[in-house]
């Protein structure tokens, strides 16, 4: 659950993906492709050179034209992705048994 957490670091990875870290330790790669071109403020993000100019502003990731993603949206998305990955990881780590 988002508890007024804020972005502490971002690092460009590739394409439309940034690694995003929050103040409580939650971190992961976020693909912003779904936002690119999804409205007038996100249109400039189609240009990867512009997309790579992101910075931390207002406790979240933001671009020079004022485009940003609310920190609670990022946090909840990252938390859901992490939770979805946990059962799959646990299943991979389960020892094999013969019945």
Quickly count: other Cβ atoms within 10 Å of residue 90's Cβ.
Answer: 9
Helix (H) or strand (E) holding 86: helix 71-93
In this prediction, residue 95 has a pLDDT band, given cuts at 50, 70 and 90, of low
Give 16-29 pLDDT, tens digit per residue.
999 999 999 999 99
Q: Residue 91 pLDDT > 80, yes or no?
A: no
Pair of tokens at residue 23: 């103040």
Cβ atoms of 20 and 30 within 8 Å: the answer is yes
More confident residue, 3 or 94: 3
pTM of the model: 0.83
73 Cβ partners below 8 Å, 6+ apart? none
Q: Residue 70 pLDDT > 60, yes or no?
A: yes
Cβ atoms of 19 and 28 within 8 Å: the answer is yes
Q: For the domain 7-91, what is the CATH code?
A: 3.30.2020.10
Q: Residue 98 pLDDT > 70, yes or no?
A: no
């Amino acid at each position: 659950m988002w508890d007024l957490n804020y972005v502490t670091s971002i690092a460009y990875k590739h394409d439309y993906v940034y690694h995003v870290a929050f103040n409580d330790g939650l971190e992961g790669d976020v693909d912003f492709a779904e936002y690119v071109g999804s409205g007038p403020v996100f249109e400039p993000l189609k240009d990867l050179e512009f997309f790579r100019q992101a910075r931390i502003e207002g406790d979240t990731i933001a671009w020079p034209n004022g485009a940003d993603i609310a920190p609670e949206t990022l946090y909840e998305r990252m938390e859901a992705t992490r939770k979805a990955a946990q059962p799959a990881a646990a299943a991979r780590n389960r020892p094999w048994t013969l019945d």
